[in-house]
Structure 1
Amino acid sequence: MKPQIYILLILFSNLCFSQNVENTFLSREVSITKWIDGTLLVPKQNETNKLAIIIAGSGPTDRNGNQNFLKNNSLKKLAEGLTYNGIATFRYDKRIVKQIRQGNVDNNIKFDDFINDASDVITHFKTSNQFSEIYVIGHSQGSLVGMIASQDKVNGFVSLAGAGQNIGDVIIEQVNNTAPMFKEDTEKVVSILKAGKTTNDYPVALSSMFSKDIQPFMISWMAYNPTEIIEALDCPVLVVNGTKDLQVSVKEAELLKQANDNSNLVIIEKMNHVLFEIEGDDLENSKSYNESFREISPTLIENITNFIKS
């Protein structure tokens, strides 16, 4: 077979698979508030009473899991995989995404704004009576956002690559691993921010994390300890992490598991932070953040599906 024909057959088969998957669900745009728009996917063939709300991680992340220069469609693939398995999904753009598109960025945005947005989404679908069971899947920063918003409101919660430590302690650990000469300075700044105060006393090298305009947001984020929040969750909990996650270690997932007796822990071999299974080294891992052609971990879809349907 000629190479050109072989390549065309591969592309055609991939296109057919994509179309077959998309033909299994209905897609609808839903506006929750003036800042929150998202996509609702509902299975076509089988009616479902189960909805999974997917909350994105840090930064200006859209409903598909993408940022300006990083397109991997990880959250879109997660949503489609679950809906293909008979679970309705709703994923939404973070409010900062819409603000950027409209050229109206709120420089006073706080971590609590993300919590309020997630709570509004949960309330919207609880009062719509379209689904009798609501589940929340929080990815990365969205894990903490989701577990706070889910208190006494949902049928189950999934922490996906979420930190177990306070974000201040995570930052200290990351700095110690990458630039240990700044560890002492970082500890001092984090201590001040945890006390609810701002400071000008930080090295220029750390300005991307601690610049004066970022500090109010960091203060609001550091006010929450994930282990304390997840301990109070009175619903089934699934904690998931991957062994090739460059941003959130397996240790963080273990901390969350230990804090909640009603939780299950799943560690997925070779899965990275954007939910792809990586065979190679850290370079391949990093490049995958901008490789939308990759398949999301089938093991992840299977475990979340089983959790929600059990």
Structure 2
Amino acid sequence: MTKKNYYVLSLFILSIFLGCKEEQKINPISENIVFKNYKDSINLSGTLSIPYKDGKFPAVILISGNGEHNRNAEFGNHKPFLDISNYLTNNGIAVLRYDKRGVEKSSGDYNSANTFDFAEDVNAAIDYLLARKDIQKNNIGLIGHSEGGLIAPIVASNSSNVAFIISLAGPSINGDKILLSQQKAIATSKGISEVEINKSQTLNRNAFEIVKKYNDKDVLREKMATYIEKISIDDSDKPENMTFEEYVDAQVNSILRPWMVNFLKYNPQKYIEQINCPVLVLNGSKDLQVLSKENLPEWKRILEESGNKSITIKELSDLNHLFQACETGLPDEYEKINESFSIIAMEEMTKWIKEQIK
């Protein structure tokens, strides 16, 4: 072998070695962690994933929507938060996800909590990341899905430690309007008659108005019970093994859950207009739970009128509320779809986050 060929071969071997080193650089490490919400005296269990052992990384906290979700936001065979975590970590971004209070390994009572309680859990997650030596303290962001998209603005409006937020199908209109819009969109897609839809809308709207009108818990329960009794006479939906009184009580308890009462009265604008950090808002065009045509324009209006200069708002074609490529967008499709979370949405988030990193 000539000296020249040996030199070329050596460079070739060296380039392979360096290439392997570069490939090995992103080798995600996941650590099961526990952090404490001192305000409510609960421990939250989760997983922190970092790109590799040594270094300091930008980080995001994943905030799930309404429901007793674990750290992976698991439903059926899908684990969308695990997929998002893996994708972001492989792109150099650390990810913290956790079991909601009262779910799996986290302590606390889920059923007695409302949106603001869940916001305190996010604050506790931020405090945990701020204490880590492997996290860039000036690059901690929030990614909130659905109700998580309500929670992220609450946290960001009261914290200087939030560098950016991403809303995934997060509401920007009042809670009662969200539910009425959701119910109508789903019923329409199922082919329910306009007469039946209008009847249901009226019944629900009246119930929601009662919740919004009365603040005293005892008075609210009395007024709601009277209303539910009135509209439930001869209700064909009453199970045969349940008395009328039990049926009424079950409906009253459902609508007067702490979370529901808070949600029906909730106005997102109060917190969205206080966001000073960069914001990315994404919605699927086939989302029937938080409709993009109603919520995206409001996000844009509120943020622009409040003076936020760093806004990106996008509708993603053919994605449902869970950011899956779908046919109808109906909730009964969710578990049947093979995709857990759209790669297109993950690419959008990753590209945008990298642009925000300081």
Asked if these proteins are the same fold (TM beyond 0.5), I'd say: yes
Match among 217, 240, 254 for residue 259 of structure 2: 217
The structural deviation recorded for 1:208 is 11
Q: Does the residue aligned with 2:136 lie in a helix, a strand or coil?
A: coil
Once the two structures are superposed, what CA deviation does each residue of 1:92-145 show, in whole Å capped at 9, x if it has no partner? 11113138x98x856433332211111111222124353221000000111101
The structural deviation recorded for 1:48 is 4.3
Where in structure 2 are there 5+ consecutive unaligned residues?
1-22, 37-41, 188-196, 238-246
Q: 1:172 to 1:210 in 2, by over 3 A?
A: farther
Q: 1:38 to 1:116 in 2, by over 3 A?
A: same
The structural deviation recorded for 1:305 is 1.2
Matched, 1:61 2:69: yes
Match among 64, 76, 79 for residue 73 of structure 1: 79
Which residue identity is paired with 1:253?
L
Counterpart for residue 116 of structure 2: 112
Matched, 1:273 2:321: yes
In 2, the alpha carbon distance for the partners of 1:238 and 1:26 equals 27
Q: Is the 8 A contact 1:155 1:236 kept in 2?
A: yes
Identical-pair percentage: 27
Which residue identity is paired with 1:190?
F
In 2, the alpha carbon distance for the partners of 1:156 and 1:175 equals 31
CA RMSD of aligned residues (A): 2.9
Matched, 1:171 2:206: no
Counterpart for residue 95 of structure 2: 89
Match among 200, 204, 222 for residue 186 of structure 1: 204
Q: Is the 8 A contact 1:74 1:275 kept in 2?
A: no
Task: Report 1:1-310 matches (<5 A).
Answer: 24-33=27-36, 34-44=42-52, 47-67=55-75, 70-98=76-104, 105=109, 107-129=111-133, 130-132=135-137, 133-151=139-157, 152=159, 153-177=161-185, 178=187, 179-195=197-213, 196-197=215-216, 198=220, 199-200=224-225, 201-202=227-228, 203-204=231-232, 211-212=252-253, 214-215=255-256, 216-251=258-293, 252-261=295-304, 262=308, 263-278=311-326, 280-282=327-329, 286-289=332-335, 291=337, 293-294=338-339, 296-310=341-355
Once the two structures are superposed, what CA deviation does each residue of 1:70-106 show, in whole Å capped at 9, x if it has no partner? 331111111111111111101111113138x98x856
Which structure has the greater CA radius of gyration?
Answer: 2
Q: Is the 8 A contact 2:68 2:110 kept in 1?
A: no
Q: How many residues align?
A: 283
The structural deviation recorded for 1:295 is 5.4
Question: TM-score scaled by structure 2?
Answer: 0.71
Q: Does the residue aligned with 2:69 lie in a helix, a strand or coil?
A: coil
Which residue identity is paired with 1:212?
N
The structural deviation recorded for 1:290 is 5.2
Counterpart for residue 241 of structure 2: none
Q: Is the 8 A contact 1:48 1:88 kept in 2?
A: no
